[in-house]
Amino acid sequence: MRIKTARPLTVTAVLALTLSACGGGGDSNGGTPGEGGGGELSVAWNANPPTLDPLVTTSTATRDISRHFFEPLITIDGDGEIQPVLAEDWEVSEDGLDIVFTLREGVLFHDGTEMEAEDVVASLQRWIDESNIGQSYFTEAEVNGEGNTVTVTLEEPMYVAPQLLADQAQLPMIMPAEIAESAPPEGLEEYVGTGPYEMATWQVDQYVELERFEDYESPEGEPNGTAGEKNPYYDTIMMEIINDSSTRLSGLQTGEYDIVYSVPFDNMAQLEDDDSVEVIAAESGPLQAYFNKAEGPMSELPMRQAVVAAMNANDIMISAYAEEQYYTTNGALMPEDSVWYSDANMEIRDESGPEDVEAFLEEADYDGETIRIITTQEYDHIYQSSVMLQEQLNEAGINTELNVYDWPTVLQDRENPEAYDIFITGFTPVAVPVTFVFLHPTWAGWTDDEDIQAAIDTVTSAEDEEGALEGAQDLQVAYYDYLPAAKFGEATSTVGYQAELEGIDFAPISGVHFWNVRPAED
């Protein structure tokens, strides 16, 4: 077995954009999209998607599965640069108020209709209304279309607007106008997009079956993350939901599964002598404990400070990832190699001792109330880190209970302020720190802090790189003053696959996708 390390996200490219930026396609890498080789690709997924509509959840399973059939206007590639997908190009006006997209022509939806400006307008409006990023930054924006152009008009210039419109977590996906306009608040009832695969069957708790879209029109350019040419080979992708990690591992070893998402870190040594299997390890962003700040004991700042002071980040991370090569204990909002990085104000996390925990608990008037941590065994790293955090808090005199559910139930309960006090999850890396949804009151945990919002406003309204970076510094300070979450460190995710395959792309900012997977050439 070889362990491949995915290329790190290059974030310096993000700041190279100016208010007059524009984008366009590149050279094709050869091949004719839509002419596949047939057969089925079998993928073992570790967790149930709660929905296949990425606008109503931040679930990784939802994101990674749905973008095989949904596409946005623009995306962020594996190097952190904005690239076109359904847009031919785009331009930001000199005053920074208008972002004008020129649409690609001849792009078909899975129902056979051609994508037009009215579809894009309706889709973007739904994204604004339903997604965390849309609600946080674009509620005053106007979206209009004419001919083959669509214009997003902002109330005020926003330095990072193109990056937000290329957000990977809750995809600004384009669909027929009638579907976007009729979708209920709980999520789509029809999954009709423009992607290289189309929805065939979703058997909840069992599998998602995708079929190759024969009339697919690919963007151009060298494949790079979610950008570039998409040349689907397999007739069918069968994504089976296999919660048990040992079952996924044995299925990879026997060849039952072509690709396995989330190879258990404890079992990596078992694959060392297996030449038929390869594993990609990629940066997967921060792992954090999120506090319920709406009600209950964690709504009080001294209690959040006590938890952060009591935790040992390295012990939590090694319990989740087994070996130091698969994690860091960076406590800053952004990775150390990011231009947005700041290590300000982290003393409470890195320098606190038992006496500090005791002082915070006394300030909080803590009387032994049980702190409820909700978790799941469908993600090994989430479960193991939850167990270790519980152990550390109990040792520090903070009584806790661990409530274990399936992943969709965790996602449901974290939206209910009466259901928990703490939950743990990871986030994929982001190009700009303000796109972390946990910094906003619309997401679970309900962050509501004037200093955090002021720092976000500084970043988004900055006229240049210097102003934006000053805002990021303020955001780092405000994060540790308020503590919306307790960050353990930066994590790694793994994808195992049969060595006879090629075209598996697992970029840190965009995760894993399978549209270019095919048998390797001899």
**pLDDT tens-digit readout, 433-482:** 998 999 999 899 999 999 999 999 999 888 788 999 999 999 999 999 99
The token pair that represents 131 in the structure block: 């997604």
CA separation for the pair 280, 295 (Å, rounded): 41
pTM over 0.95: no
Which residues sit opposite 14 in a β-bridge? Answer: none
Calpha distance 259→246 (Å, rounded) = 14
pLDDT of the residue at 463:
79
382: its two tokens: 């989430």
Query: For residues 346 and 480, what is the distance between their CA atoms, to the nearest angstrom?
Result: 7
CA distance 195 to 171: 13
Q: Which residues pair with 137 in a beta bridge?
A: none
Residue pair 71/138 in contact (Cβ under 8 Å)? The answer is no
**Distance separating alpha carbons of residues 25 and 219, to the nearest angstrom:** 7
Q: Provide the 10 A C-beta neighbour count for residue 118.
A: 16
User: What integer pLDDT is reported at residue 14 of this predicted model?
Assistant: 42
Q: Which is nearest to 11 in space by CA: 111, 74, 81?
A: 81
Pairing of strands 149-153, 259-261: unpaired
d(CA 147, CA 180): 20
Question: Which residues are within 8 A (CB) of 161 and not within 5 positions of it... i.e. 6 or more apart?
Answer: 92, 96, 99, 137, 152, 154, 460
H or E, element range at 237:
strand 236-241
Q: Give the residue from 119, 219, 159, 216 showing the smallest Cα distance to 17.
A: 159
Cross-strand pairs, 518: 502
Bridge partners of 240, per DSSP, are 44, 207
The CA distance from 494 to 5, in Å, is 9
| CA distances for 457 relative to 132, 137, 467, angstroms | 16, 10, 11
Kindly state the tokens that stand for 250. 């044995």
The token duo for 448 is: 């509501």
Alpha carbon distance 97, 463 (integer Å)? 12
In this structure, the number of other CB atoms found within 10 A of the CB of residue 39 comes to 13
**What's the confidence (pLDDT) of residue 430?**
85
Strand, helix or coil for residue 168: coil
Q: How far is CA 135 from CA 63, 290, 308, in A?
A: 19, 21, 30
- Helix, strand or coil for residue 63? helix
* Residue 511 DSSP SS3: strand
Whether residue 134 contacts residue 58, with contact meaning beta carbons closer than 8 Å, is answered with no
Angle (CA) 308-382-241 rounded to 5° is 160
Give how far the C-alpha of residue 255 lies from the chain's centroid of Cα atoms, to the nearest Å: 29
State the pLDDT at residue 28: 32
Number of H helices, E strands in the chain: 14, 22
One-letter amino acid of 463: E
Tokens for 450? 């004037």
For the chain, residues with pLDDT lower than 70 are 1-36, 522
DSSP-derived letter for residue 498 is: E
H or E element, residue 102: strand 98-103
Domains of the chain: 283-492 (3.10.105.10)
Q: Are 473 and 342 in contact (CB under 8 A)?
A: yes
